[in-house]
Structure 1
Amino acid sequence: MGTILLNNLADRLQGQSNASLLIGNKHFYTTNYQVHRRAHWTSTIRMMPVECFNGQNLKDEHGGQGVLNYYTSNTSDYSFIFPLLDWQAINGITVEHRIPLERCSNEPSSLIRLSFVGGVSDGEYEMTMMDTATHSLTTQRSWHFYDDAIIALATNLTVKTRNFAWTTLTSRRLSHSQITIGFFHSTIITLPNGFYSLSYNSESSLNTCIDLRNKTDNYIDIGTSNYTISAHTLTIWLDHRL
């Protein structure tokens, strides 16, 4: 079995057309990191803080708050994006927004460790869960990984102050200056560059917000390199309006 797996790995590394696909699910329980692979896409979720030292990762306060990344064959989605990120709106997290970001040194000083975090996998599918607490916000969240979908759930979302609470759906580069959105009632709209706030439904205060524009920033704001970069970016989030 081990020899077969190694041969399959070698075939994929060599780019052979008949190489077996790497499909499945793996939860790394020591680091609370999960990888879900399908034929044409891969998703990862991180639930443990990343290291920040030697002047690196200075804004990564929320890097362990359920960061959910989605990868396709387009390798430019996250290329050179870090200086351009809103670090309170990175993929998958539910945190307070528009409050001062804690500068990170070894680990965020505001880090609150809770015991209920982890995942269960049968090698193909997975459920991952995490109690979240950050500043004045608490919630229980879970993610469910399938063949053609990821379902994310949250319950008991509470903010003890009047701060904004966001759940970020995507934060990435986008090569073109418009996006097309389809709604459940079959309406399809195309939006050019700009900021948009769309009501979830008439009975809910939940809004879907979209920020589509060009950004310019410098790596010096997050680390030790002094390098300016510009790119077209897309950020979509849920404004819970608690």
Structure 2
Amino acid sequence: MGDLKAKFPATLELSIFSMIITVLIGVFSGAYAAQRRRSVADYGFRIYSIVIYALPVFWLGLMLQLIFGVRLGWLPVYGRTGTRLAPETISGLFVLDSILTGNLASLISAIKHLILPSLTLGLYLSGIFTRLTRGNMLDVLQQDFITAARARGLPERVVVYKHALKNAFIPILTMIGLQFALLLAGAVLTETTFSWPGMGRFLVDRIAYRDFPSIQGGVVFFALLVTAVSLIVDIIYAQVDPRIRY
């Protein structure tokens, strides 16, 4: 239990920031590609979605470390925070704890350490969401209510990002829930690449040491976690689409 309390907040924090980057890049690039179908931007985003997902995630992480950490020296390449800058533990989420304690130095350090691993996972997963969003948006943009909205003279941005994207969001929400649950279960390669003290790296270490009680506890915890995330996504469905009733 103590190991979970120490390791899970690190994975949760990394997962939240990674998913924010994934959604911002993947969903909006997919919606824009659908809006500009068969344009240069559309082909560019389609190529991006294929290439970025084909890259090994550990290689992507190493390249980001090499460019932004080693060559440019802008960002740290390992750990959760700088030496002696860890905030007072309240929730275990360093960014949140730094805000709650008013520790600006710890907040800046925690955010800097989060950027590269979060960007690695966010870019890697954004390829899936770009393709998924584009496909769903193309289907929705051909429906009658979109034609009616355009006939009423609504701005194209409102038609696409308010009406079409909202109706295309159910499959996207499903994928968000699935990928977020998988991230919470531990992004082993990314956590290892960036020496991130999270659940994935912890479980790999336990396997190496043949610590079977910890392994069994971790597997059960992950199963409960995926179940909980799936339940939350089902509840959100009803809020996003009023046609859904349970």
Structure with the higher helix share, 1 or 2: 2
TM-score (norm 2): 0.22
Which has the higher Rg, Structure 1 or Structure 2?
Answer: 2
Structure of higher RCO (CA pairs closer than 8 Å, 6+ residues apart): 2
Structure with the higher strand share, 1 or 2: 1
TM-score (norm 1): 0.22
